[in-house]
Amino acid sequence: MPADLIFYTNPQSRGQTVRWMVEEIGAPYETVLLEYGTTMKSAEYLAINPMGKVPALAHKGTVVTEAPAICAYLAEAFPDAGLKPDSDGLADYFRWLFFAAGPIEAAFSNQAAGFVPPEDKRATFGYGTFELAIETLEGAVTGKRFIAGHSFSAADVYVGSMINFLRDCQDFRVWAGIMGKKETHYVPTQGAVDSG
């Protein structure tokens, strides 16, 4: 019988974020490792995620894709894990989860590809400029132990993963700006794993 939770991933991918999240949930899960360009583009996997990308998660026959959606879904589906904040933290939870998934993702990808939005088009880009988006992220975590409410949540998994990713792939100044501040206590490391 297949497991209730099946996690599709590759160790060198955004699947690392979801790996962290499923470990925080603490429920048993099966891992399916997919290779870039081959099994990730197989008809069998395209039936699960037509994008042919990882991560994806199947839960009792339903499929969720998009790392931030998977994190938010797991927090909902496993309420005993306590990874969704109470009502007082909910606004920040959604706000920063979506901010990291939208503006930060786009700003990072464009920056990494060497694309800078022309000045007369910036108002139409959701992230404005890379610097503005990163400064905003920096402000969101400065002085906080958790990004939403008073306890660790799925938003910490996703935003924390994004910050780690920025540090590793992009620009050390970003990491230093965010994590190097004395007043920043944002160290999103509950039962953290990053083994892919």
Contact call for residue 55 and ligand GSH (CB under 6 A): yes
Query: Nearest Cα to 15, choosing from 131, 165, 152?
Result: 165
Q: Pick the closer one to ligand GSH by CB: 66 or 92.
A: 66
Whether the CA torsion 60, 25, 194, 171 is positive or negative: it is: positive
Least CB distance to ligand GSH at residue 86 (A): 26
Stretch that binds ligand GSH, among 46-54, 80-88, 147-155, 182-190 (CB under 6 A): 46-54
Contact call for residue 36 and ligand GSH (CB under 6 A): yes
Contact call for residue 13 and ligand GSH (CB under 6 A): yes
Contact call for residue 49 and ligand GSH (CB under 6 A): no
Distance CA 144, CA 50 (A): 38
Stretch that binds ligand GSH, among 49-57, 106-114, 121-129, 163-171 (CB under 6 A): 49-57
Q: Are 9 and 18 in contact (CB under 8 A)?
A: yes
Contact call for residue 14 and ligand GSH (CB under 6 A): yes
Q: Pick the closer one to ligand GSH by CB: 21 or 134.
A: 21
List, in sequence order, every residue forming a beta bridge with 30; answer none if it has no partner. Answer: 6
Contact call for residue 9 and ligand GSH (CB under 6 A): no
- For 145, how many CA atoms within 13 A lie in the half-sphere containing its CB? 5
Where do the DSSP E strands lie in the chain?
5-9, 30-33, 56-59, 62-65
Residue numbers of the site for ligand GSH (CB under 6 A)?
13-14, 36, 40, 52-55, 66-67
